[in-house]
Amino acid sequence: MAAVGGSIQDVTIRGRLLPVTADADVTRNLGGFENEIAANGDGTARIIKTRVPWGLSGLVVEIDEDRGDQQFLQEIANGTDYVAVSITFASGVTYQASGTVADTIEFSSQNATATISLMGQGEMTQQ
């Protein structure tokens, strides 16, 4: 089977489906560990593992003012807990995780969109 890229099919945050613009280029980090290699004086090396959160950036979502989408996203950002997140890619593959809205939520009145980032604890897993 060929690798498939393209438009995000959908993203759901705390049960609310938010349309993603067809041209959004989303970057996904599954979370887990990042590694640094540190040298020892005798020529051997150590692996230093640092846990990193999962993340999605570059999500450009439709903001429907009648539904209060920006307020909904801000409410999640203001909260102190993680919420359910899922995203389905053009390949049809869906990933899910527990996370929150990261960074500033800025509404574009011309496009009725906002660019958001999502991050969370643990790892994002394929369903």
Q: Which structure tokens are listed for 106?
A: 């800025």
Q: Tell me the per-residue pLDDT of 60-88, one tens digit each, with 9 for 90 and over.
A: 999 999 999 999 999 999 999 999 999 99
Decide if 114 contacts 107 (C-beta within 8 A): yes
Which residue segment(s) compose the domain that 63 sits in? 10-126
CATH of the domain at 95: 2.40.30
> What is the per-residue pLDDT for 103?
92
Q: Please say whether the beta carbons of 27 and 60 come within 8 A.
A: no
Tell me if 51 is assigned to some domain: yes
Number of structural domains (the chain) is 1
Which tens digit of pLDDT belongs to each residue from 6-39?
999 999 999 999 999 999 999 999 999 999 999 9
* pTM, to two decimals: 0.90
Query: What pLDDT, on a 0 to 100 scale, did the predictor assign at position 104?
Result: 94
In this structure, is residue 24 part of a structural domain?
Answer: yes
